[in-house]
Structure 1
């Protein structure tokens, strides 16, 4: 019996290697070099399951090439590991398209009906993209979103500082703050996430995104049940949009409706719109606060910057009783390069998930790398952000001053080709100005008003990360309780002076 079992195992191994050789033999010599996995056929899949997006760092070191191929059976993924190739990828944006993933997401995450799925295979993704860009472009619509977001942020920070709890889990608080502030901005005060159960269900659903993408890993249906609770809240909200619903939300529903999408599908597609906002902004806020408050000297410099640059102004409140403070958001965005640098360096060092493209037709990159139709291209941000050719010998280290303009420079837009947490043109995140403003406001208010330190007394330099999460910055596997204390000199009434969105955050990505 043991001998027969051994024969079977040996036979399967030989079959796997034979199949691997067969699939390798079909490569065109102009295609990027194929990296053979340790285990034939499925080795790269196993590596990604075990290590998440950090697996690309390992394969990129093994490849030693600016672009290479990972294979699983006859399925190929081309990995672009060099910022030098980004302009060529952008040049072929029609042939190397993100659009097919929008249709896939509509079905896998948004439970699109058959008719809705077919419609998403047409021009609808382009129409939606244009609508979103217009609604989030600098102007009165973005001004309204930012104003409502800011008002909600003030409420959540005041509740945090007034809490009698001994400690607060930082990730849970960051998630709540992002959900509530962004929802107030987009949907108004009567938004779908007022019910704590719906908000909790949303984050439970996020844990199952990978499982839902595969289609069969959520065997207990726990993730689907959580998603259904979110869907029901959106269906109720969308049945009659309140007048205070934002231009962004109204346009989103209008474009879907005019394309022939049913009311139920419209509500579900609105719900998955949050995946790109909540699930990315929350861990980015978490890690920005982590990097800022874990560096006392930098924190003090940021506080001084906020004061000397006019971003924070103290004044007597009406009637002369007590003190009041103003956070000037226009000054915060344009005059506080150190805080912005900490934020962007957090993105650079902690960004993990790659950007995706489908190869729609045979494409020759830089006149030498052939990408075959039907396969896929990925650009892993963590590999690009580790390039010493762009970021210097300290590329692997956190430098809070990295994005502070040097003498004679106005900003850091020259590094745009190597800074990809917002994606890469023409698929840059249209909400980057809104999201960056939201995170900078929260970080600035907490820097001035609070002291935050781990309840354990020590900052963990290398916390374990949840790489299975599809967020652009991996959240920690374990939330960390924080002691939050009020800075007594800054107790008083706080207001925001928003200014106009024409005052942009000078992001390195543009």
Structure 2
């Protein structure tokens, strides 16, 4: 080895050691002893960044298992993440919703994802955390959309449109058909959902808009990180612009006036805060993320677990058989038609196994992380200092895979786990819809849609893999922003009418008026006690 090469090697090693030592010094110099302990890493700041990039949500469960801390700090370049493991700390975080705030974060994310103008961004950022009172776009937005999504007339109307679309679509499946299961479900759910929200002028009735949305979705993580999106997410940006133009046309033509109470509330809220109509259209591109990205994969995983396990399928079919009714009606042409009705109110009230199966699917498959910004220094539970500017994270998978919360069979799919007569779990440990002020406002609409679609499917059809075997499906490609990940690979199946089920029967999904909420979250469980 030449002297020059030896010198270069020594110099390189010296620089590496110096950088390594400097990072350790920086970590200890900037970490308060009262803060949650930082997780040990081989290279401060860098190792955690690599771990999150590679392992995503699994990184949090690995750190929990390795260190067993109630709360800890992950230090990233320019950022502090306070990750909550202990279920006892979650209510403390959720109660302090002004100190640990979501609206300012939501405003920032909306700006990054939607590409809104400076005028709209200023409106989003004005009093975003309500420090000057309960006014301003961001702080009042959740309350404005909560009413049409809560049990009541607005939600019932959306559910009825959804039910009609689902029933009509499945009526067209008269003979056996080979499909890719996820693509099939995503298509059905997308049309039913968007018709129920946007009304007869639904932009998603154009297949080009559907294609654009899924292209847009692929680049969301890059948009959130603002990581050279014009280079790394060019197709997503083009898709976003295409969708924004179509939504602008939709609003200018008054399409929202014929839509649901939800789209009217979103539009009116923006108008009242003087958001330009061009930005209302851009915000709706972001709004489509909320109504589409979780319902399709959740429906897929429910169908997957039902048909891949004959015991689960039979249990749910037997339960549903008790809530269907038959009647004969006469058409305008004088033809007698047999109508079979599924009453969704009865499904929600009298099919606990079906509901438990859905909740178990969400426990096993959702990977959402409740995230909040620390607005001021705060001693959490009088024990842990959380510094202003940090980010509090409550990873759903940490709670969903907790042996102390769910028992030794936590890794297994147990479709009866959520039955009232089974061993009671702490409802806070179920994070399928988030919790606190970030609790998903659309959970009742989404759950009703998933249950209606799946109930209609399992009562009428058999589904079997073309190759004869249900394969294990992975979700390694899921993004950090996703709540319910899609499978890495689709599965080709044959859908055929069930033996003994009359294909000439006309099926109907009945949605009656209801002001009762399904017990889907800790907050729902608590409200049913009142």
TM-score of the alignment, normalized to the shorter chain, above 0.5: yes
**Counterpart-to-counterpart distance in 2, 1:233 and 1:174:** 24
Task: Report the CA distance between 1:322 and its aligned residue.
Answer: 5.4
**Counterpart-to-counterpart distance in 1, 2:14 and 2:61:** 32
* Secondary structure in structure 2 of the residue aligned to 1:134: helix
Is 1:348 aligned with 2:379? no
> Quick one: which of 373, 377, 398 aligns to 2:388?
373
1:168 corresponding residue in structure 2: 179
**Counterpart-to-counterpart distance in 2, 1:163 and 1:468:** 37
1:268 corresponding residue in structure 2: 282
Is 1:53 aligned with 2:53? no
**Counterpart-to-counterpart distance in 2, 1:33 and 1:61:** 15
Tell whether the 8 Å contact from 1:19 to 1:73 is kept in structure 2 after alignment: no
Tell whether the 8 Å contact from 1:465 to 1:475 is kept in structure 2 after alignment: no
Deviations 1:107-157 (A, max 9, x none): 111111112111111221122111100121222111111111111111232
The structure-2 alpha-carbon separation of the partners of 1:66 and 1:256, relative to structure 1 and needing over 3 Å to count, comes to: same
Deviations 1:138-179 (A, max 9, x none): 2211111111111111123234x24764x2112112222222
1:142 corresponding residue in structure 2: 155
**Counterpart-to-counterpart distance in 1, 2:521 and 2:102:** 22
**Counterpart-to-counterpart distance in 1, 2:42 and 2:162:** 49
**Counterpart-to-counterpart distance in 1, 2:321 and 2:418:** 20
* Secondary structure in structure 1 of the residue aligned to 2:82: strand
What are the within-5 Å matches in structure 2 for residues 18-417 of structure 1? 18-122=22-126, 123-159=136-172, 161-162=173-174, 165=177, 167-218=178-229, 219-220=231-232, 221-242=234-255, 243-308=257-322, 310=323, 312-318=324-330, 321=336, 323-406=338-421, 415-417=426-428
**Counterpart-to-counterpart distance in 2, 1:338 and 1:457:** 27
Tell whether the 8 Å contact from 2:215 to 2:236 is kept in structure 1 after alignment: yes
* Secondary structure in structure 2 of the residue aligned to 1:502: coil
**Counterpart-to-counterpart distance in 2, 1:473 and 1:326:** 30
Deviations 1:73-130 (A, max 9, x none): 3421000012111111112111001112211122111111112111111221122111
1:424 corresponding residue in structure 2: 435
Deviations 1:288-343 (A, max 9, x none): 111111111110111110112x2x22334437855321011100111101111110
**Counterpart-to-counterpart distance in 2, 1:172 and 1:238:** 29
* Secondary structure in structure 2 of the residue aligned to 1:225: helix
> Quick one: which of 442, 466, 488 aligns to 1:477?
488
> Quick one: which of 11, 15, 25 aligns to 1:11?
15
**Counterpart-to-counterpart distance in 2, 1:168 and 1:86:** 42
Q: Which runs of 5+ in 1 are unaligned?
A: none
Task: Report the CA distance between 1:195 and its aligned residue.
Answer: 1.1
**Counterpart-to-counterpart distance in 2, 1:9 and 1:486:** 69
The structure-2 alpha-carbon separation of the partners of 1:307 and 1:231, relative to structure 1 and needing over 3 Å to count, comes to: same
Task: Report the CA distance between 1:453 and its aligned residue.
Answer: 1.7
* Secondary structure in structure 1 of the residue aligned to 2:258: coil
Task: Report the CA distance between 1:464 and its aligned residue.
Answer: 4.4
* Secondary structure in structure 1 of the residue aligned to 2:500: helix
Deviations 1:393-420 (A, max 9, x none): 212221110011108x9xx7x7321111
Deviations 1:215-273 (A, max 9, x none): 23542511111212221221111112233212211121111111121010011101211
**Counterpart-to-counterpart distance in 1, 2:346 and 2:13:** 67
Is 1:449 aligned with 2:460? yes
**Counterpart-to-counterpart distance in 1, 2:493 and 2:436:** 38
**Counterpart-to-counterpart distance in 2, 1:23 and 1:124:** 38
**Counterpart-to-counterpart distance in 2, 1:382 and 1:345:** 13
**Counterpart-to-counterpart distance in 2, 1:504 and 1:342:** 18
The structure-2 alpha-carbon separation of the partners of 1:373 and 1:450, relative to structure 1 and needing over 3 Å to count, comes to: same
Tell whether the 8 Å contact from 1:142 to 1:501 is kept in structure 2 after alignment: no
Tell whether the 8 Å contact from 2:344 to 2:511 is kept in structure 1 after alignment: yes
**Counterpart-to-counterpart distance in 2, 1:260 and 1:347:** 38
**Counterpart-to-counterpart distance in 2, 1:464 and 1:506:** 28
Task: Report the CA distance between 1:49 and its aligned residue.
Answer: 1.2
* Secondary structure in structure 2 of the residue aligned to 1:193: helix
Task: Report the CA distance between 1:14 and its aligned residue.
Answer: 3.0
What TM-score results when the alignment is normalised by the length of structure 1? 0.94
